[in-house]
Amino acid sequence: MKTKKTLFFTTAAFLIAVSIAAQETGRAGFVIKLKNGSTLRGRTLSRDETSGALRLVMTEATDAAAKSYAVIAADDTSEISSSSSDSESIRIKLKGGSDLRCKEFSLSGDSVAVKLGSASKIEIKWSDIDSISFSQ
């Protein structure tokens, strides 16, 4: 009987560890860190012009429609970055045709602070941004 309990608890601990690891090593995409310590991951990020809320598509169906998404208040985010891989980056396409590539950016009211290296940041108004996408 003692062996069965030990085997049961060992199996349960293993399953919990695997599910935690699966959540932490999700697919490539945006990683949004919230001020409360939570982390969200998704592939597509957009912003509602009227409310300023962010919409993060977390899973997509085969017809490219969103299966699940999160709506996040911009004030609740602490930082937005790409996954940890060196070959992945965030592409911010500006109105007028130019674009920026970065590993992370943060939100501050009506602007986006884009980190362009270890020590430099620039601020861009939301109204100047055409789209934000994830690229590999």
Give the model confidence (pLDDT) of 103-136 as tens digits: 888 877 778 888 887 778 889 888 888 888 777 6
Count H helices and E strands in the chain, helices first.
Answer: 1, 12
Q: What is the pLDDT of residue 114?
A: 85
Mean pLDDT of 13-40: 65
Give the pLDDT band of residue 21 (cuts 50, 70, 90): very low
Give the model confidence (pLDDT) of 51-72 as tens digits: 878 888 776 666 666 577 788 8
Q: Are the C-beta atoms of residues 89 and 82 closer than 8 Å to each other?
A: yes
Tell me how far apart the alpha carbons of residues 70 and 10 are, in angstroms, rounded to a whole number.
34
Q: What is the pLDDT of residue 52?
A: 79
Tell me how far apart the alpha carbons of residues 83 and 7 are, in angstroms, rounded to a whole number.
36
For residue 134, count CB atoms less than 10 angstroms from its CB and return exposed for 0-12, middle for 13-18, buried for 19 or more: middle
